[in-house]
């Protein structure tokens, strides 16, 4: 109901953040991360995400985990990235579940465990995370950590593509190429089904 004003938003969010409000801290961190209304400052963004994360804010835990894992904007710390990803996943943040799966897939700070990676990707996929769906589809296609299932792979990859995952494009043509016309129709049917909301 008002005009967008990042400068004004940053001033109000700074007051909320200084008062210790985790949502204010997270939202101000986002402005610093993107350089909207304030000068871009990744370290300040990480400090604010950490302050919110320590108060149990799931989206802040997720973003801090990503920043610590990527290591492009702040010093990487795999153990801390895993800790915050698990905390966010415990709060139902699907993208964090996908990240935990990647840690097991890539053996980052944990032993490589394709089945554990698939378990996390399935949790994320069922909650609608498009990258989790793409990675689960790829695992089903390749038979990595789960028995190969070409139709199931195709269905997950279709969901992932519809959800906007760039990862789906890497596998969807190969998955489709392994299917009969009937299999393709079945994969499309499954992809169109509503996902059952998993228990918390």
Exposure on the CB side of residue 188, measured as CA atoms within 13 A: 8
In a domain, 180, yes or no: yes
Domain final residue, candidates 27, 61, 84: 84
Average pLDDT value for residue range 102-111: 96
- Among 13-22, 105-114, 161-170, the least confident range: 13-22
Q: Report the candidate in 103, 106, 32, 111 with the shortest Cα–Cα distance to residue 73.
A: 32
Q: What percent of the chain has pLDDT over 70?
A: 98
pLDDT at 199: 54
For 38, the domain range is 1-84
Domains identified in the chain, total number: 2
Average pLDDT value for residue range 72-98: 94
Residue 175 to residue 179: CA distance in whole angstroms: 7
Residue 21 and residue 53 in one domain: yes
List, in order, residues 6 or more apart from 145 with CB less than 8 Å away: 105, 113, 114, 115, 116, 117, 118, 139
By the 8 A CB rule, do 87 and 53 touch?
A: yes
Distances 103 to 46, 73, 98 between C-alpha atoms, Å: 21, 19, 9
In a domain, 200, yes or no: no
Grouping H, G, I as helix, E, B as strand and the rest as coil, residue 145 is coil
Residue 68 and residue 103 in one domain: no
Residue 40: CATH number of its domain: 1.25.40.10
List, in order, residues 6 or more apart from 43 with CB less than 8 Å away: 74
Domain final residue, candidates 28, 55, 84: 84
> Could you report the per-residue pLDDT of 3-13, keeping only the tens digit for each?
777 777 788 78
Residue 184 and residue 130 in one domain: yes
């Amino acid at each position: 109901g008002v005009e967008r004003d990042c400068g004004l938003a940053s001033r109000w969010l700074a007051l909320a953040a200084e008062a210790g409000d985790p949502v204010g801290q997270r939202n101000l961190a986002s402005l610093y991360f993107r350089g909207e209304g304030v000068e871009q400052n990744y370290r300040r963004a990480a400090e604010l995400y950490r302050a919110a994360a320590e108060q149990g804010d799931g989206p802040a835990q997720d973003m801090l985990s990503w920043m610590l894992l990527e290591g492009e904007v702040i010093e990487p710390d795999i153990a801390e990235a895993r800790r915050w990803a698990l905390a966010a996943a415990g709060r139902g943040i699907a993208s964090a579940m996908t990240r935990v799966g990647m840690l097991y897939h890539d053996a980052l700070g944990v032993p490589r465990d394709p089945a554990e990676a698939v378990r996390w990707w399935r949790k994320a996929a069922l909650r609608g995370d498009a990258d989790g769906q793409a990675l689960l589809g790829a695992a089903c296609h390749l038979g990595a950590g789960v028995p190969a299932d070409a139709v199931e792979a195709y269905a997950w990859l279709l969901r992932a593509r519809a959800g906007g995952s760039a990862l789906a494009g890497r596998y969807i043509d190969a998955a489709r190429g392994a299917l009969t016309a009937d299999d393709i129709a079945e994969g499309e049917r499954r992809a169109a089904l509503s996902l059952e909301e998993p228990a918390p």
